[in-house]
Structure 1
């Protein structure tokens, strides 16, 4: 009986292990809560920084598509083809390249702009809270 008692005092019991695991989880939850409370971004700020670049990229892509299609129609009519005649492979590749480049540039600029806008709003909120 003494040996069994001696073994259990040297090794952590299953209950001690479970309690320690719960303490680790509790510390992680506390750290996550602290990060959330110290995060200056509101839900609106996060939506703005997510949505603005996406919408700007979509609008720029649609505008480019409209301009491209108008140009293709004119080119087809000048060559004596139907206005909606299919494009060649090189034109399709050119459109894909121009569209990707424009989409990336517009999204990047909109991302920077939305971050700057959120930064200004956060500074204004901080000043408003102090004053």
Structure 2
């Protein structure tokens, strides 16, 4: 892995950690300060910022929905422990599906391979706990 690639991974990981800690503005600051130094991060700068904000918002929405549900029918401890694992498994499944379609494209008017990196990024976020 090149130094540039390692630097872009560090920038994204540092931003994800800040979102996970509840500091999305710090994540934006990290991305802003480092994107001009790292070509890979610079290329994905705006999409990463958008994804970080979107995932933070969705995570909070899902969490609130489950809290409301738990007032009606409490989640078991097993369900609570398995929730993040299920999110990771779902992200992995969609990433592998898109990766397969990209590697083995099919002919047809209505078929086109979608970018597998979207779900790869979701998987990374799920692994980090977001």
Which structure has the highest helix share of the two? Answer: 1
- TM-score above 0.5: no
State the structure with more CA Rg.
Answer: 1
| TM-score, L = length of structure 2 | 0.33
